[in-house]
Amino acid sequence: MKTIKGPGLFLAQFAGDEAPFDSWDGITKWAAECGYKGVQVPVWDARLVDLDKLASSKTYCDEWVGQARANGVEITELSTHVLGQLVAVHPAHDAWVDAFAAPEVRGKPAARQDWAVEQVKKALTASKNLGIGQHVTFSGGLLWPFVYPFPQRPEGLVDTAFDELAARWRPILDHAEDCGVDVCYEIHPMEDLHDGITFEMFLERLDGHARCNMLYDPSHYVLQCLDYLDNIDIYAERIKMFHVKDAEFNPTGRQGVYGGYQPWVNRPGRFRSPGDGQVDFGAVFSKMAANDFDGWAVVEWECALKHPEDGAREGAQFVRDHIIRVTPHAFDDFAGGEVDDATNRKMLGID
């Protein structure tokens, strides 16, 4: 067994235009003051990082990491969530996600996709330069408009979509192999990889690619009514990253899984600050420890009710309280004696 590292904090929900959230120096100092030992960095946010330099300049990497360490935090992983989203976009979502892209490729889906692929590859190269072995992203989605269709989906539509999704990601995963970095897809609604079955369909088309892995986030499974504890055991070998995010699902006679187009605060399924929702994190951390997960426990703060700065400070303590320092020996070793084959055979009555 191994002891999880942490607490870490995903910075995407906190970066902003006011101090201390508008600069790398300020936000890393703030994270350390909240009690975090590491930060997960959204590489698309130029207020925090220059991705081009991170992928090309060792001097820049050393200075960037050095500033974070001087302020008290390590880099846990890099994130390309919104860039991975652009690797596969259904036309119905073009205008919706165009803002994620560079201005010069907006309104140009093919050019935007090519740009996104290169951005994800740069982030993988940057991870290599930083000596980080895991990277988190989204898969993008070609099928989400058809997730619960009427009329029924045409025969072959799902296969065609997953064939295409795998074809788009294989060159990126091959680059990840060259970099020695695992690509960890956050299993998430709107992405084609939104549960275990869809991840398996993708992985099969990639011939079990070693760099195709998962970020585990139980909050998304609570809202799908999926067994989030069983999921850890099923995919233990592929779970390489971990978001600590809570959620609650309280259906009524008026609303269920789909939420009735209501704002977050009025949905039956809501994200909550760690400890305020329904996830059994005691069981989650126990399973992660038993399955030898030795990555970072990273708080991804999203809550419909609580102020983000309060959620961040409470989240650091919550993770510290749940990390299990694993035992180096069995609790009943004191009662054991000398063991050898002759003794074992004697105990069993074997001549």
Question: What contacts 24+ positions apart, CB below 8 Å, involve 22-29?
Answer: 22/47, 23/47, 23/48, 24/48, 24/49, 24/64, 24/67, 24/68, 25/67, 25/71, 28/67, 28/68, 28/71, 28/72, 28/73, 29/71, 29/72
SS3 262: coil
pLDDT of 335? 64
- The runs of H, that is alpha helices, within 133-239 are 157-179, 196-205, 218-222, 228-234
SS3 77: strand
* pLDDT > 70: percent of the chain: 98
pLDDT of 233? 98
Domain ranges of the chain: 5-347
CA distance 118 to 124: 10
Model pLDDT for residues 256-281, shown as the tens digit of each residue: 999 999 999 999 999 999 999 999 99
- 212-235 mean pLDDT: 98
Model pLDDT for residues 124-181, shown as the tens digit of each residue: 999 999 999 999 999 999 999 999 999 999 999 999 999 999 999 999 999 999 999 9
- 293-298 mean pLDDT: 96
* pLDDT > 90: percent of the chain: 92
pLDDT of 334? 64
Answer yes or no: is pLDDT of 333 > 70: no
Confidence of residue 249 (pLDDT cuts 50, 70, 90): very high
**CATH assignment of 5-347?**
3.20.20.150
